[in-house]
Amino acid sequence: MENDLDRISTDLVKSLNRGELTDLGATIGDVALDGIIGSGALDGVPVLGTMVSIARTGSAIRDLVFQRKVLAFLVSFGTETDPTARQEFVRKIEDQDHGQRFGETILLLLERMDDLSKPVIVGRLMAAAARGDISLKEGLRLSRIVDRAFIEDLVLLPDLIDNKVQPDEIVADALFTAGLLSNDGSDGGTFLSVEEGGEPGGTIYSRNRYACLLIEFGLSSRKKP
């Protein structure tokens, strides 16, 4: 099993530089990922071929959902980077340890994720790192935040108003715990009840630097229409 993980990890890095990902991203539309995996359209992408091969041997890594996560990540990365950026990004990663550690980190993150939207976000963040918009360290930190947070909370982040007591305290507290909000103190509210037009008290939150990076590079696509 350990050798299987090593193979998939290094093949994942190699797959980041495949032109098939860009072509697929331009035409994927609403096509089911399951159908793409089985169609042979990505036979030239190393990590997918390795995963299918290992699955045929009866290994535990046979979960179609996991394959879908990996594919969603790769397509997101490939459609938001140009060939030059991808080549340089892969070269830097492979210079360290043949990309094995990076590949393991991404695979473990993807395996844990509970929504197929999250691998897409991580793909965008790694694309931003490849373009030089953020550092790889920032991209990985943000990816771990995405893994921990509820996707329903993350999609509300762009519309959150800074330096205010948030209407949904539970969501705000969760985003703060995830590392995306700063605690700016507290507000005691007003004497009037909310029903009478008063303002509720509570913790004042603002989006921090990581929240801004996530909104700009993870929650919105840079793909050209």
Whether residues 57 and 161 share a domain: the answer is no
Q: Final residue of a domain: which of 129, 148, 167?
A: 148
- Give the per-residue pLDDT at 37: 57
pTM of the model: 0.76
In a shared domain, residues 183 and 127? no
Supply the pLDDT for residue 157: 95
Number of domains in the chain: 2
H helices present in 98-181, as ranges? 100-112, 117-131, 136-148, 151-154, 169-178
State the virtual CA torsion across 167, 170, 176, 181 in degrees, nearest 10. Answer: -10
Domain contains 222: no
- Residue by residue, pLDDT tens for the chain (225 residues) are 446 667 777 888 888 877 666 665 554 544 455 565 556 666 667 776 666 665 555 544 446 678 788 888 988 998 899 989 999 999 999 887 767 789 899 999 999 998 989 999 999 999 999 999 999 999 999 999 999 999 999 999 999 999 998 889 999 999 999 999 999 988 755 544 445 454 556 899 999 999 999 999 999 887 644
Sheet containing strand 164-165, edge to edge, reads 164-165, 202-207, 181-187
CA–CA distance, 172 with 153 (Å, rounded to integer) = 8
Tell me the two tokens of residue 178: 């995830």
d(CA 176, CA 196): 29
Q: Do both 98 and 59 map to the same domain?
A: yes
Token couple for 224: 């050209």
47 and 137: one domain? yes
